[in-house]
């Protein structure tokens, strides 16, 4: 990582930052000088994650948020406003996984996924846009979508629907906020080694025969490996940086090339 602090003193919020992709993004932003807030419903884990960053000499703290609840999101925005008065960067990463098929899915399950994975990003944007508008240079919103928001996948009806909505939410929000100089983009991860990679039987998706045969042996993922959370951090940082000053409304696939093989 560069010694130059390219995000020095910019306030950054990363949801779902206690682990996985969210933590890696938070760590990269913090390493670039951002005052990084790790927002997560799992507050104990978020506190531990923030302490790891502080021990590295970075500026970080953990705050609780349930992006599925209006009052919780409003409370987070109030806390950030009260302490910092603005926010330069918002990364909407928090999400939950689910295996849902149209013939077995309950409407309550579908609505829960939509409420968190789709509506959660909308809640965060609604709450934080006023704070971002009060900031100076480098105002950014980065959403974490998925290649499942661009392509179909078996037993992922609710998740894919929500991530597909995030894709067009990103584009529409970019149009709304462009007059204020706020850039809005998304990354679309492919197969990434996170807790969501654990299958219902406790095994890891990467270790399954079908995955290794199709995606590794026969190169459906051209790079022939699972992504790591760290692989997502660099592209997310780029979209948060001044290098992306003329980039908005874009969806950047970070998938080892898998979307090129569809």
Q: For residue 1, what pLDDT band results from cuts at 50, 70 and 90?
A: very low
Ordered structural domains, the chain, with CATH: 11-192+230-254 (3.40.50.720), 198-226 (no CATH)
User: Measured at the alpha carbon of residue 153, what is the angle toward residues 90 and 259, in degrees to the nearest 5?
Assistant: 65
Q: What SS3 state is found at 19?
A: coil
Q: What share of the chain is helix, strand, coil (3-state, %, to 5)?
A: 50, 15, 35
Burial of 210 (0-12, 13-18, 19+ CB in 10 A): exposed
Closest listed residue to residue 53, CA positions, set 95, 10, 18, 81: 18
Q: What SS3 state is found at 57?
A: coil
Query: 106-129 pLDDT, tens per residue?
Result: 999 999 999 999 999 999 999 999
- CB-based contacts of 61, cutoff 8 Å, min separation 6: 36, 37, 38, 50
- CB-based contacts of 220, cutoff 8 Å, min separation 6: 214, 258, 261
**Whole-angstrom Cα Rg for the chain:** 18
- Catalytically annotated residues: 159
Beta strand spans in 42-95 (E): 60-64, 89-92
Query: 30-60 pLDDT, tens per residue?
Result: 999 999 999 999 999 999 999 999 999 999 9
Query: 187-242 pLDDT, tens per residue?
Result: 999 988 876 666 667 766 667 776 776 676 667 888 888 899 999 999 999 999 99
């Amino acid at each position: 990582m560069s010694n130059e602090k390219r995000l020095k003193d910019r306030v950054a919020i990363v949801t779902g930052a206690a682990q996985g992709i969210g933590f890696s993004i938070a760590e990269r932003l913090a390493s670039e000088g951002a005052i990084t807030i790790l927002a997560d419903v799992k507050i104990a884990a978020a506190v531990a994650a923030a302490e790891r960053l502080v021990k590295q000499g970075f500026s970080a703290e953990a705050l609780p948020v349930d992006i599925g609840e209006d009052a919780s999101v409003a409370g987070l925005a109030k806390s950030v406003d009260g302490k910092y008065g603005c926010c330069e960067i918002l990364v909407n990463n928090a999400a939950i996984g689910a295996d849902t098929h149209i013939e077995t899915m309950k409407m309550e399950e579908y609505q829960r996924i939509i409420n968190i994975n789709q509506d959660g990003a909308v809640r965060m944007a609604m709450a934080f846009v006023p704070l971002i508008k009060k900031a100076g240079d480098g105002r950014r919103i980065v959403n974490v979508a998925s290649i499942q928001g661009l392509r179909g996948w078996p037993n992922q009806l609710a998740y894919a629907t929500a991530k597909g909505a995030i894709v067009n939410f990103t584009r529409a929000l970019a149009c709304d906020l462009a007059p204020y100089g706020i850039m809005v983009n998304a990354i679309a991860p492919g197969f990434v080694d996170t807790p969501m990679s654990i299958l219902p039987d406790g095994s890891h998706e990467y270790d399954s025969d079908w995955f290794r045969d199709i995606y590794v042996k026969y190169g459906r993922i051209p790079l022939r490996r699972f992504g790591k959370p760290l692989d997502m951090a660099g592209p997310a940082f780029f979209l948060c940086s001044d290098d992306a000053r003329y980039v908005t409304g874009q969806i950047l696939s970070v998938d080892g090339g898998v979307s090129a093989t569809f």
